[in-house]
Chain A
Amino acid sequence: MNILVFLVPLALGLGLLGLAAFVWSMDSGQFDDLDGASHRVLSDADLPDRKP
């Protein structure tokens, strides 16, 4: 059962990491325009060799 010493903190840590990532993406406005995001992904305008 010693394996639990590693696995349990790992599981909890992953959960917290997921939550933190979600909160971060929400605060940075990534869920504000879900319709637009699905179109933007097809746009080449953000490629480095072009003007943004």
Chain B
Amino acid sequence: MAEISDFSIFVHPAADGGAAMDLAVDGIHCAACMRAIEKGLSSEPGMRSARVNLANKRVRVEWQADQLSPERILDRMEAIGFRAYPFASDRIESAEKREEKRLLLCLAVAGFAGMNIMLLSVSVWAGNASDITPETRDFFHWLSALIAIPTAAYAGRPFFESAARALRQRALNMDVPISLGVILALGMSVVETLNHAEHAYFDSAVMLLFFLLIGRYLDQSMRRRTRSVATNLAALKGESAVKFVSDTEICKVPVAAIRVGDRVLVRPGERVSVDGVVIEGRSEIDASLVTGETRPVPAMIGTDVYAGTLNLSGTLQIKVRAAEAGTLLAEVQKLLERATVSRSAYVQIADRAARLYSPLVHASALLTFLGWMFVGIGWHDSLIIAITVLIITCPCALGLAVPAVQVVAAGALFRSRVLLGSGDALERFAQADTIVFDKTGTLTLPRSGVLNIAAVDPELADLAGRMALSSKHPLAQALAKALGANVPVSNATEEAGSGVRAEIDGESAFFGRPALAGLEQEAEALALAMPGASMIGVRIGVRAALFAIGQEIRPDAGQTLQILRENGYAIEILSGDHEAAVAEVAAALGVEHFASAMKPADKIARLEALQREGRKVLMIGDGLNDAPALAAAHVSLSPIHAAHIAQAAADALFIGDELAPVAAALDIARRARQAMIQNLWLAVIYNLLAVPLAIAGYVTPLIAALAMSGSSVLVTLNALKVGWRRKSA
């Protein structure tokens, strides 16, 4: 059975018989990398163009379809020295990209229009102080109107649409007072221009839109960037499956190309990349990344298997199927739906502020109008002053207050290797006071390592690693990888099911089952101390050693948990693994509260109990069985290798072998929340100063312009603080 790879799902046609493909690339960071890739790929015959995007760490290639194949391009990339994998950009990402582009266009229109209007406005202000004729002033005002009205109609759409959505749901958000302010400012200015008045507020309306669009655009571009990094990481995992294209023919295809009903072959040592049921073969599988259980479970015809499990001993044929009633997947999905619905709708700080703020603003404008009417200056003048109050209170600073902080914080999180999914997750991170960890794959590393490496003679360990290279057994492969071995021992032979024999420096050597290495008693003793581990023995002549292979605790887990405890977080472990294995990890990390053998529903029940106590829970987990709990928790975090369904349920992802990003995320989130609240107070103070002036009728367009830009700059500077302190720390 010859095996070929098929990447056709990622290739899209280009003009004139060409084909194009997007590649996610690992490790591009300088001009030299860019040139190496572009030159290397362009020298390939049939290549039309290859262009690196450094910001997104991607390469776009276009080639003559009949002269080159995607496989050849990937091989070429590997020869150049970069790991690359094609991906199909998902719908969400392209939607985010379109939205980003739309906001940038709106921003550009508002910016250029604002410049032109300001040119006219400054002339009017200067003229009002000297000798402008009323005709010239009216002409300038009409010109401003000509620019401002179409601009607002175009660049104001993001706000008008969002305000309309909120009003339809009978709610108030920040965009309602913004839209109202812009529309009233324009309307009043037109009326004033008709009346040959001295002041018009066209510049205020457009400037307001410009500042607010900056906030929106930054927010959107950060979100899009996070998403593209996540897409890259997912693509670089290069998940593929070996699919039967006919009864005897197999083909390696990307997981994205697998459909329900396909038959897939999984060989020993390979990770299952699909959900399905075994239809042929018999094996043992390690389901620890799915259920948390570290002991291998037997698999035979009719056993359900899930993406992320590791096939240990025999070859399996799996039929791919969707979630069917009664499977773990179906149960998880049911719980997930319920958790998502029942999660109380969290109200963002900005929207809460808007709910308090909007009625206040509108009421003060109304009172101003009634007050002046009562004084008796006539309805026209009263209305003008009331609208000035609306314009001056229009939440320019308020609209920037929160997005500016979110953008800076998301950037700081990014540097701490945390990818934030949504802006409001930041606020929820800041509120968390209890952290619930999953054990397998979260507190421990997702791959196996040697647990007792310190107790083994380094020379023996080195030889054992080299002998392990000759074995196909997953445990031996894990050992070889963990020890960093890369030179196989010559004349080594594998005896299936027992181990590897070789001759080293005239001594007979054996690597494999502890009993065959004469280490049975030692293995039993070690197994008592390390209940989660599997044993491998090595004997070379008279020297012998035993390796305990298992999931290592993340290198800095103890330290990170210590920091979290010092910062006042309560910590718990909820694991699907058996009691002894969980107790061991809990003891090593000094965690008092833990529970083992938890089913997905048990985890949710525990989270709900904590929430009833008034705790805000941060759930950190990676398995399929954690997904409902991740969705049910106040806020959630997943390591990047997590099951797809868990990643989708989590609010943020963290990258790498360390647990430190968790502490960093919480720290940044707390500081960000603090900055948001400060910013909102700054906006309030600004209003306290400006509103009395407006109510008294002393505000001119010049004062409005100064106040607006001044407060926006102040709020933005305060937001930058979140990133600055991070660098000095």
**B interface secondary structure, majority:** helix
Q: A19-B112, A26-B104 are in contact. Are A32 and B53 (CB under 8 A)?
A: yes
- Bits for B100-129, please: 1 = Cβ < 8 Å to A, else 0: 010011001100110110010000000000
Contact B112 A36 (CB under 8 A): no
Given contacts A15-B116, A34-B55, A35-B55, contact A45 B35 (CB under 8 A): yes
Give 16 pairs: A residue, B residue, CB < 8 Å, sorted on A: A1-B133, A1-B136, A11-B116, A22-B112, A26-B105, A31-B104, A33-B52, A33-B53, A34-B55, A39-B30, A39-B31, A42-B31, A43-B31, A45-B35, A45-B38, A52-B42
Contacts of A26 in B (CB 8 A): 101, 104-105, 108
Check: A8 CB closer than 8 A to any chain B CB. Answer: yes
Scoring A residues 1 to 27 as 1 if CB is less than 8 Å from chain B, else 0, what string do you get? 100100010011001101100110010
CB–CB B53/A39 < 8 A: no
Known: A33-B53, A33-B56, A35-B55. A40 touches B34 (CB 8 A): yes
One digit per residue, 1 when the CB lies within 8 angstroms of any chain A CB and 0 when it does not, for chain B 43-71 equals 00000000011111000000000000000
CA distance A19 to B147 in the complex (A): 13
A interface residues (Cβ-Cβ under 8 A, vs B): 1, 4, 8, 11-12, 15-16, 18-19, 22-23, 26, 31-36, 39-40, 42-43, 45, 52
Closest to A27 in B: B101
**Is the C-beta of B143 less than 8 angstroms from some C-beta in chain A?**
yes
**Most chain B Cβ neighbours within 10 Å, of A15, A16, A43, A45:** A15
Is the C-beta of B725 less than 8 angstroms from some C-beta in chain A?
no
Q: Chain B, interface size: which category? A: 20 to 34
Q: Which residue from B42, B105, B112, B139 sits with its C-beta under 8 Å from A18?
A: B112
Residues of A within 8 A of B113 (CB): 15
Which A residues touch B42, using CB under 8 A? 52
Partner of B108, one of A22, A35, A45: A22
- How far is A42 from B31 in the complex, measured between Cα atoms in Å? 8
- On chain B, the residues within 8 Å of A4 by CB distance are 136, 139
Q: A35-B55, A45-B35 are in contact. List 4 more A-B contacts (CB 8 A).
A: A15-B115, A19-B108, A22-B112, A33-B52
With contacts A11-B116, A15-B112 taken as known, whether A33 is within 8 angstroms of B105 at the C-beta atoms is: no
On whether the beta carbons of B119 and A11 are closer than 8 Å, the reply is yes
> Which residue of chain A lies nearest to B39 when distances are taken between CB atoms in the complex?
A45
Contact A40/B119 with A15-B113, A33-B56 known, Cβ cut-off 8 Å: no
Chain A residues lying within 8 Å of B112, measured Cβ to Cβ, are: 15-16, 18-19, 22
Given that A19-B112, A22-B112, A45-B39 are known contacts, is A36 also in contact with B34, CB under 8 Å in the complex? yes
Whole-angstrom CA separation of A23 from B136 in the bound complex: 32
User: Is there contact, CB below 8 Å, between A35 and B54?
Assistant: yes
Shortest Cβ distance from A1 into B: residue: B136
Residue contact A12 to B116, C-beta cutoff 8 Å: yes
A43 CB, min distance to chain B CBs, angstroms:
6
Q: Who on chain A is nearest to B54 by CB?
A: A36
Q: Which residues in A have their C-beta under 8 angstroms from that of B104?
A: 26, 31
Closest B residue to A52 by CB, please name it: B42
Contact B52 A36 (CB under 8 A): yes
A35 to B119, CA, bound (A): 33
Are the C-beta atoms of B31 and A23 separated by less than 8 Å? no
User: Which B residues lie within 8 Å of A45 (CB)?
Assistant: 35, 38-39
Q: Which of B19-33 contact A (CB under 8 A)?
A: 30-31
State the Cβ distance, B98 to closest chain A Cβ, in Å.
Answer: 13
Taking CB as reference atom, which chain A residue is nearest B140?
A8
Contact B101 A33 (CB under 8 A): no
Alpha-carbon distance between A35 and B225 when the two chains are bound, in angstroms: 13
Q: Which of A12, A19, A36 is close to B53, meaning CB atoms less than 8 Å apart?
A: A36
CB-CB under 8 A from B31, the residues of chain A are 39-40, 42-43
Which residue of chain A is the closest to B31 with respect to CB atoms? A39
Measured in the bound complex, the distance between the Cα atoms of B115 and A31 in whole Å is 22
CB-CB nearest in chain A for B132 = A1
Q: How far is the CB of B31 from chain A (nearest CB, A)?
A: 4
B contact residues around A36 at 8 Å (CB):
34, 52-55
Instruction: Point out the residues of chain B lying under 8 angstroms from A1, CB to CB.
Output: 133, 136
For the complex, what is the distance from the CA of A26 to the CA of B97, rounded to whole Å? 13
In angstroms, Cα B139 to Cα A4, docked, is: 11
Shortest Cβ gap from A37 to chain B (Å): 8
Known contacts A8-B143, A35-B54; is-contact A23 B119 (Cβ 8 Å): no
Interface string of B125-169 (1 = CB under 8 A from A): 000000001001001000100010000000000000000000000
In Å, the complex CA distance between A8 and B115 comes to 13
Return the 8 tightest CB-CB contacts between A and B, nearest first.
Answer: A36-B54, A39-B31, A15-B116, A35-B55, A19-B112, A35-B54, A33-B53, A22-B108
